[in-house]
C-alpha cells in the first residue's frame, strides 16, 4: 500500500512538476480537451496524459483551469451534470427518447423532412427545476466522445431545442460514440 502524501509533500510535488523547465515547451492540449477532462465528460487518452505529464506549461494551464472552475459558483446547488446511456437494443425502431441516469433530463428526437431535431427537457420533479428555468440555465449536451450535440439555454418550459448536428440518425450515432451522453451546465 502506498503511503499517503502529507499536504506539504503534495505541495512540494506540485511545485516540482509545475516548476520544471523543459526546452521548447508549449501547450500540448487545447483548453476544450482539458475542460472536458476536468468536468469528466471525456477522459484523457493515454497519449494526452503522456503529453500533459511531459509539458509543465500544459500542466500549469490545467491547474489554472481547475482553479478557475473551482472559484466559479455552481449554477445550481447540488447539480453539476448528468449522464445517460443508450439502453435500447439494436432494432428497426428509430430512437425517440433517452433519459439521464439521475432521471432529471430527457433527450427527445423528432424526425422531420428537414432532418432530425433534438430536444433537451428538464423534468419538473428535478430538485433544481424551478431555479434552472428562472435563470434560463445555459447547458450543453455532449456524446460519449465529447462531441457537441446541443448547446443553449432552457426556455420557460424547461426545454432547449436544436437541429441534430450529425449525418447519421441518433441511434446509430450513439452506438458509434460509446452509447453515452452528458448534460452539463455551461461555465461562464
What's residue 69's pLDDT? 65
Among 1, 177, 182, 168, CA closest to 98: 182
Q: Determine the structural domain holding residue 67 and report its residue range.
A: 7-71
Does residue 173 share a domain with residue 136? yes
Answer yes or no: is 1 within a domain. no
pLDDT tens by residue, 76-89: 656 888 888 876 55
Does residue 88 share a domain with residue 63? no
Answer yes or no: is 2 within a domain. no
pLDDT tens by residue, 17-74: 667 777 888 888 888 888 778 777 778 889 988 888 888 888 888 887 777 766 554 4
Is the per-residue pLDDT at 98 higher than 90?
no
Please, where are the H alpha helices in the chain? 7-19, 31-39, 46-54, 56-71, 129-134, 170-176
Does residue 115 share a domain with residue 167? yes
Does residue 165 share a domain with residue 90? yes
Does residue 170 share a domain with residue 86? yes
Does residue 141 share a domain with residue 114? yes
Tell me the pLDDT of the chain averaged across its residues.
81
Q: What is the DSSP letter of 113?
A: T
Does residue 143 share a domain with residue 59? no
Is the per-residue pLDDT at 122 higher than 80?
yes
pLDDT tens by residue, 131-172: 888 888 899 999 888 899 999 999 989 999 999 999 988 888
Number of domains the chain is built from: 2
Does residue 89 share a domain with residue 60? no
Does residue 155 share a domain with residue 109? yes
Dmax of the chain from CA atoms? 62
Does residue 54 share a domain with residue 116? no
Does residue 146 share a domain with residue 53? no
Amino acid at each position: 500500500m502506498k503511503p499517503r502524501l502529507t499536504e506539504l509533500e503534495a505541495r512540494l510535488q506540485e511545485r516540482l512538476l509545475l516548476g520544471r523547465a523543459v526546452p521548447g515547451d508549449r501547450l500540448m492540449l487545447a483548453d476544450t480537451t482539458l475542460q472536458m477532462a476536468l468536468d469528466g465528460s471525456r477522459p484523457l487518452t493515454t497519449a494526452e496524459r503522456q503529453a500533459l505529464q511531459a509539458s509543465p506549461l500544459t500542466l500549469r494551464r490545467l491547474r489554472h483551469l481547475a482553479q478557475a472552475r473551482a472559484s466559479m459558483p455552481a449554477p445550481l446547488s447540488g447539480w453539476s451534470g448528468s449522464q445517460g446511456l443508450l439502453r435500447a437494443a439494436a432494432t428497426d425502431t428509430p430512437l425517440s427518447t433517452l433519459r439521464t441516469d439521475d432521471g432529471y433530463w430527457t433527450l427527445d428526437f423528432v424526425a422531420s423532412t428537414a432532418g432530425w431535431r433534438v430536444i433537451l427537457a428538464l423534468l419538473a420533479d428535478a430538485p433544481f427545476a424551478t431555479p434552472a428555468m428562472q435563470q434560463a440555465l445555459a447547458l450543453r449536451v455532449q456524446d460519449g466522445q465529447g462531441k457537441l450535440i446541443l448547446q443553449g439555454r432552457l426556455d420557460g418550459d424547461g426545454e432547449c431545442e436544436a437541429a441534430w448536428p450529425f449525418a447519421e440518425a441518433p441511434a446509430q450515432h450513439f452506438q458509434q460514440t460509446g452509447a453515452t451522453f452528458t448534460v452539463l451546465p455551461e461555465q461562464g
